[in-house]
């Protein structure tokens, strides 16, 4: 079970890397007002959602349990990110504030995962 958990933690980290990496690659375009949500951002958010749900399920099956409030907050933040990226994914330009909000929420989700025990 430990190997399975570690594989899905790795996949979860790859998902956050894709989401944050997609944001960071568009930073220069954001300052020019031409930023857009790249496919890596959508795929990263979806990967985070699927692997996160599976990780919670594995923890519950293992008897370890999770902090349900923390998971609920992280899930709510991820749903907002996913909704924004999904709805605006085909637009050639995304407003700076909206694009920045997705980047900020991504960082919030990372810090919740790391700092909330």
In this prediction the pTM is 0.93
Average pLDDT over residues 74-83: 98
- Confidence class for position 117, pLDDT limits 50, 70, 90: confident
Q: Percent of the chain having pLDDT more than 70? A: 100
pLDDT at 73 over 90: yes
Q: What is the pLDDT of residue 77?
A: 98
Which whole number is the average pLDDT over 31-44? 96
DSSP of 27-90, one letter per residue?
HHHHHHT-----HHHHHHHHHHHHHHHHHHHHHHHHT----HHHHHHHHHHHHHHHHHHHHTTT
Quote the CA–CA distance of 57 and 72 in Å, as a whole number: 14
Report residue 72's pLDDT band, with 50, 70 and 90 as the boundaries: very high
């Amino acid at each position: 079970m430990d190997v399975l958990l570690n594989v899905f933690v790795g996949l979860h980290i790859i998902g956050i890397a894709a989401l944050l990496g997609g944001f960071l690659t568009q930073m220069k375009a954001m300052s020019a007002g031409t930023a857009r949500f790249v496919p890596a951002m959508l795929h990263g958010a979806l990967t985070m959602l699927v692997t996160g749900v599976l990780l919670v399920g594995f923890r519950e099956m293992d008897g370890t349990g999770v902090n349900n409030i923390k998971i609920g907050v992280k899930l709510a933040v991820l749903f907002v990110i996913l909704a924004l990226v999904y709805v605006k994914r085909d637009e050639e330009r995304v407003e700076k504030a909206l694009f920045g909000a997705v980047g900020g929420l991504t960082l919030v989700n990372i810090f919740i995962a790391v700092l909330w025990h």
